[in-house]
Chains A and B, each alone.
Chain A
Amino acid sequence: MSELVAQLIWNGLVTGALIALVALGLTLIYGVAGFIQFAHGEMVALGAYSFMVMHKLVGWDIFPSAFAAVCFIIIVGLLFEKVFFRPVRDADPMIPLVISIGLSIGLQALILIFWGPNILTISDTSFRSLSLFGGKILATPSQIWAVILSLLLMIGTTIFLHKTKIGKSLRAVASNRNVAEVFGINVDTSMTWIFGVGAGLAAISGIFLGFEQNLEPMMGVIIAIKAFSAVILGAVGSVRGAIIGAFLIGLSESLLVGLGIIPSGFTAAIPFVILIGMLLLKPEGLFGKRFQSLRQ
C-alpha cells in the first residue's frame, strides 16, 4: 500500500510539474498582458510535435532537438504577440481572448492537417525505468528530468522576476501599465519578453509530455485546461499560486483515481471540481492575499 501511494505521489508530482510549467507561462501572460492566452496549449502541442520531428525524422540527439524545438516555439510565441496581440493590446480584454481562441482552433487544425489524426509517439527510444528509494518507486529518466528541470525553471522565473531589471520592469507593467510607461519602461519589450518566456516554458512542458503520452492534436488543450484551473486556483497573476495549484491538481488526479476513490472515467472533471469548489469558498484564489508576486 505504501509503495502504491509513493508511486502515485511520484506520478502526481510529474503531472503537476508539467502542468506547472504551462500554468507559469499562462499566469505571467495574464499578469502582464491582462488576458488568458487560450492558444497557450497549442504551444505545448507544437513543442512536442517539433521535438518529435527533430528527434525522430531529422534524427538529432535528444538535447539538440529539444533545444531546437524550444527555440522554434519561442519564435512562434513572439510572432503571435507581434502579429495578433500587439495591435489589440489596448482594446477590451475580451478581444485578445477571442483571438487566442481562434488561434487555438486554427493551430489544432493545422496540426491535424500536417500530421494527420494518427497517434504518434516519441518514446520508442524509451529509457528503462529506474527504481528509486530501494525499489519503491519506478521512474523514467525523463520524469526525473521533468521534475528537476521544472523546479529549477520555477525558481529561475521567480528570481528573474524579482532580481533582474527586466523582471522588475515586467512586474511594473503588470501592476500598472500606464504608470510604468510614464516611468520610461518599454511596454513593447515587456510583452516580447513575457510571450517569449511563456512559449518557451510551454514548449519544455510539451517535450516532457511527449515522453509521457502519445502525441495527438488535442494534447495541448487538455493540459492547458488543467493549467487554466491551476492559474485560477492559485489566484490569477500569482506565480507561486499557479505552481501550487498545478501540483495540487496533479497530485489529486493521481491519488484520487489511483486509490480508487473516484472512477477513472471522471479524471477529466477533477481539476474543475476542485476549482469550482474553491471559487465558491474562497473567490480570491487560494493565495489571493498573500502571494501576489507578479501584481505587486
Chain B
Amino acid sequence: MLEYIFSLIIITLIWTLLAQSYNLSFGLTGLFNLGHIIFYGIGAYTAAILNTRYGWGFFTNIAMGAIVSGIFAAGFGILTLRLSGHYLAVATLGAAMISTVIVTNWVGLTNGPLGIRGISEPILWGFTIQADSLSFVILMLGIVGFCFFLLYKIFHSPFGRILRAIKDDEIAVQAIGKDSFKAKIWSLILSAAFAGVAGVLYSHYRLFLDPTIFALPEIITLILMVVVGGRGNFLGALLGTILVIFIGEMPRFIGFPDNIIGASRNILYAVLLIGTMFWKPRGLFSFFEK
C-alpha cells in the first residue's frame, strides 16, 4: 500500500512538471502545440540511451535531457512557429506522429517497439535510490520543486509578461518593438527543456522505456491537465494535474473490471474536459488568476 502511495506521488510529480512546462508554451504563450510530448519523449530517450550505453548517471542525464530537448525545440520552433492556430495544431500533431514512427523504426538507436530495459536507478553519494521508496519521493520533490521555482520565476518575469501579451495580441507586441517570433521560440525552448527533465525523471523511475511514451492518449492527458487547471495559470495547472491523476485513479478504486479500466478512465476524462469547457472555459481554478 505504502509503495502504491509513493508511486502515485512520484507519477504525480513527474506529470505536474510536464504539465507545467506545457503550460509555459501552450497556456502562457498560447502556442497550440500538440507535439509537446515529443520533448518529454526525447528527454526520456536521451537518459535511457546515455545511461544504458555509456553509463551516464541520473544527474548528468537531467542536464543532458534538458539540453537535447531544448536544442531540438529550437529547430522544431523555427520550422513550425511560422504557423499559428489550427495550422500549428495539425502540423505539431503530425510531428508527434512522425516521431513515434521514427522511434519505433530506428531500432539501432532505440531498440524499437521492444523498448530499452535496464536503465539504472539514481545514485546519490554512493547510495542507490530505489524506485517507490521514501528517498525517491524526496529526491523527486527536490528536483521538481526546484524546476517549479524556476518556472514560477519565468512566469512572473518581464519575459513571462511578453509571452502573456503574445497570447492576447501578437501584433500589439510587435508594434511596441518586441521580437515576438524570438520570444515564442524561447518560450518553446524553455518549455521543452523542462519537459525533457520530466522525461529523464520518468526514465530513471520506470527503468524501462518504449515508444508508447509518444502516444496520442498521452498528448490528450497533457492537454486535459492544462485546460482543466486553467491555461496560463501557474497554480491552476498544478491543481489541474493533481485532479486529473486523482480522477484517473478512481476507476481502479471503484472496482471496475480490469478490461474496462482504461476506457472508463477516458470517459471520465471526456466528461471532465467537456464539463470544464462548458462551465469554466478559463479552467476550474481560474479564480486563482489575478
Known contacts A95-B277, A265-B101: A232-B87 contact under CB 8 Å: yes
| B115–chain A nearest beta-carbon distance, Å | 16
> B223 contacts A228, CB within 8 Å?
no
Closest to B113 in A: A265
Contact among A30, A105, A112, A228 for B270, CB-based, below 8 A: A105
| A98–chain B nearest beta-carbon distance, Å | 6
| A84–chain B nearest beta-carbon distance, Å | 7
Q: Which of B235-279 contact A (CB under 8 A)?
A: 259-260, 262-267, 269-274, 277-278
Q: Which of B93-123 contact A (CB under 8 A)?
A: 93-95, 97-98, 100-102, 104-105
| A207–chain B nearest beta-carbon distance, Å | 24
Cα distance A22–B214 in the bound complex, in angstroms: 25
> A271 contacts B94, CB within 8 Å?
yes
Cα distance A87–B74 in the bound complex, in angstroms: 39
Known contacts A109-B263, A268-B97, A268-B100: A36-B90 contact under CB 8 Å: yes
Contact among A106, A229, A265, A269 for B90, CB-based, below 8 A: A229
Contact among B93, B98, B223, B271 for A269, CB-based, below 8 A: B98
- Please report the total number of A residues contacting B with Cβ < 8 Å: 46
> B281 contacts A276, CB within 8 Å?
no
> A228 contacts B93, CB within 8 Å?
yes
Interface: A148 (CB within 8 A): no
Closest to B256 in A: A113
> A269 contacts B270, CB within 8 Å?
no
Interface: B91 (CB within 8 A): yes
Interface: A266 (CB within 8 A): yes
| A266–chain B nearest beta-carbon distance, Å | 6
> B263 contacts A112, CB within 8 Å?
yes
Interface: B217 (CB within 8 A): yes
| B95–chain A nearest beta-carbon distance, Å | 7
Known contacts A91-B281, A263-B105: A110-B90 contact under CB 8 Å: no
Interface: A76 (CB within 8 A): no
Cα distance A73–B98 in the bound complex, in angstroms: 31
> B94 contacts A102, CB within 8 Å?
no
| B287–chain A nearest beta-carbon distance, Å | 19
Known contacts A112-B260, A221-B216: A101-B94 contact under CB 8 Å: no
Partner-contacting stretch, out of B36-44, B78-86, B171-179: B78-86
Interface: B32 (CB within 8 A): yes
> A36 contacts B86, CB within 8 Å?
yes
> B98 contacts A272, CB within 8 Å?
yes
Interface: A283 (CB within 8 A): yes
Cα distance A109–B272 in the bound complex, in angstroms: 14
Q: Which of B44-79 contact A (CB under 8 A)?
A: 79
Interface: A261 (CB within 8 A): no
B105 to chain A: which residues have CB within 8 Å? 263, 265-266
A221 to chain B: which residues have CB within 8 Å? 216
| A252–chain B nearest beta-carbon distance, Å | 14
> B223 contacts A268, CB within 8 Å?
no
Cα distance A280–B75 in the bound complex, in angstroms: 13
> A283 contacts B83, CB within 8 Å?
yes
Contact among A88, A225, A272 for B95, CB-based, below 8 A: A272
> A87 contacts B97, CB within 8 Å?
no
Cα distance A172–B274 in the bound complex, in angstroms: 29
> B86 contacts A30, CB within 8 Å?
yes
> B273 contacts A102, CB within 8 Å?
yes
Contact among B79, B86, B104, B262 for A276, CB-based, below 8 A: B79
Contact among A91, A101, A112 for B273, CB-based, below 8 A: A101
Interface: B220 (CB within 8 A): yes
Known contacts A109-B263, A276-B95: A268-B90 contact under CB 8 Å: no
Cα distance A95–B104 in the bound complex, in angstroms: 33
B277 to chain A: which residues have CB within 8 Å? 88, 95, 98-99, 102
Interface: B165 (CB within 8 A): no
Interface: A248 (CB within 8 A): no
> B100 contacts A84, CB within 8 Å?
no
Interface: A239 (CB within 8 A): no
Cα distance A58–B97 in the bound complex, in angstroms: 38
Closest to B227 in A: A98
Cα distance A113–B264 in the bound complex, in angstroms: 8
Cα distance A113–B261 in the bound complex, in angstroms: 10
Contact with B along A203-233 (1 / 0, CB 8 A): 0000000000000000001000100110110
Contact among A95, A97, A116, A236 for B259, CB-based, below 8 A: A116
Interface: A108 (CB within 8 A): yes
A225 to chain B: which residues have CB within 8 Å? 93-94, 97
Contact among A30, A106, A266 for B267, CB-based, below 8 A: A106
Known contacts A101-B220, A102-B270, A112-B260: A232-B227 contact under CB 8 Å: no
Q: Which of A43-101 contact B (CB under 8 A)?
A: 84, 87-88, 91-95, 97-99, 101
Q: A108-B266, A266-B101 are in contact. List 7 more A-B contacts (CB 8 A).
A: A95-B277, A99-B273, A101-B220, A231-B90, A265-B105, A269-B102, A272-B98
10 smallest beta-carbon distances between A and B, as pairs? A106-B270, A272-B94, A102-B273, A109-B266, A109-B263, A269-B101, A265-B105, A112-B263, A102-B274, A102-B270
- Jot down 9 A-B pairs with beta carbons below 8 A, ordered by A: A36-B90, A102-B269, A102-B270, A102-B273, A113-B267, A225-B93, A276-B91, A276-B94, A283-B82
